[in-house]
Amino acid sequence: MDKLLTVTALRRVVQLIAFAFFVYGAMIFTTFYTGDKLTQNLPALSCAYDMKGGDMCTLIPLQHQMDHRVSGIFTKNAKVMEALMGTLITIGTVAVLILILNKAFCGWLCPLGFFQDVFTMIGTKLGLTQLGSLSRETVNKIRPIKWFIFLFLVLILPLLTGIGFLGHEWGNPYCSICPSRIMTTAMTGDMSQIYISQANTGYFILSLIADLLFGLMVALALFVRQPFCRICPILPMQTLFKKIGLLRLVKNGNSHCDTCSSCVKACPMDIYEIQNQAENKNITHSDCTLCGRCVEFCPHDGVMSFKYGPLTLYGSSKEGFKKRTKIDKWWKG
């Protein structure tokens, strides 16, 4: 029974419940495709193409607003505030949600994150060689990709489409390649999103990238932790507001941190910066998903902790580390 009493085990239960709601929630709680969703601005990949889902990712309204509303400033002489109002409401909603749960939307609620975790567990149980932590150099090369995707596929290309510089297929290019679109719809029995479009060159390229990206993500997840999360464009949105989040990762490090690196080895996002010494400092990194593994596997008393406002929800300890290490070996064995 003790093997179930861990932060990671709790996270898996929450992820499973969230997955069921975000993929199938409309079958119980809602009636219509978008009108009755819990929110259309969730800072996690809850796909709008999933007609049985209970929520909706914020990236699709952002793309549509760039295409149909913000572009009006340049093409229809629309008033700036009228054109930006929808986008401001979307961003404001995201800010409120991040204030409540910060980046835990990724680590605890995102259905695509859970999907990748399942494949990583499958790879481990099959005895496939896990790559473990990626090198610092590799991580630094990967990190800018999510900003490129967010700026160009979520904002710039849809805006250029609305202005008239690009064809209609570039109005929501991120959704066209998002692996969550394929995963969530397929999980409901809808296989229509797995295709190669012949409509025109743009649609062909986007549909081809989508299928290749999904297949690559599944294959990599068997060997690498959270492969797609590292380039997910939700992270830049969360980064803009992470400092206001009540939930945060706090470090009060000491000299042991210079040679320990247990937190980095446990981190599924390979955030090497969390190893640095810090004195009672919020170290919630831009790539952090607040999964809690670094706190679980820190072998020092009171060095790392999860805090919600002034409250400490969970802190590192020597005893906790010993117990958690034994449990981890039991699961992997």
Q: What contacts 96, CB < 8 A, 6 or more positions away?
A: none
pLDDT digits (tens, 9 = 90+) for 180-198: 999 999 999 999 999 999 9
pLDDT at 3 over 60: no
Q: What is the pLDDT of residue 293?
A: 92
Q: Is the pLDDT of residue 34 over 60?
A: no
What's the confidence (pLDDT) of residue 77? 83
Residue 183's identity, in one-letter code, is M
Output the pLDDT for position 141.
Answer: 96
Nearest-angstrom CA–CA distance, 193 and 191: 6
User: Do residues 158 and 64 touch, judged by C-beta distance below 8 A?
Assistant: yes
Query: Domain coordinates of the chain in residue numbers?
Result: 2-237, 246-332
Residue 257 confidence (pLDDT): 81
Residue range 197-241, pLDDT digits in tens: 999 999 999 999 999 999 999 999 999 999 999 999 999 999 888
pLDDT by residue (tens digit) across 282-325?
A: 999 999 999 999 999 999 998 999 999 999 999 999 888 887 77
Average pLDDT rounded to a whole number, residues 72-90: 91
Looking at residue 32, its pLDDT comes to 47
Question: With 90 as the cut, is the pLDDT of residue 154 above it?
Answer: yes
Sheet containing strand 281-282, strands side by side = 281-282, 247-251, 304-308, 311-315
| DSSP line for 167-204 | -GGGSSHHHHH-HHHHHHHHHTT--TTS----S-HHHH
Which residue, among 221, 178, 157, has the nearest Cα to 56 in the 3D structure?
178
Q: What is the pLDDT of residue 45?
A: 94
pLDDT of the residue at 273: 92
pLDDT-derived band of residue 6, with 50, 70 and 90 as boundaries? confident
**Helix-then-strand count for the chain, H and E:** 15, 4
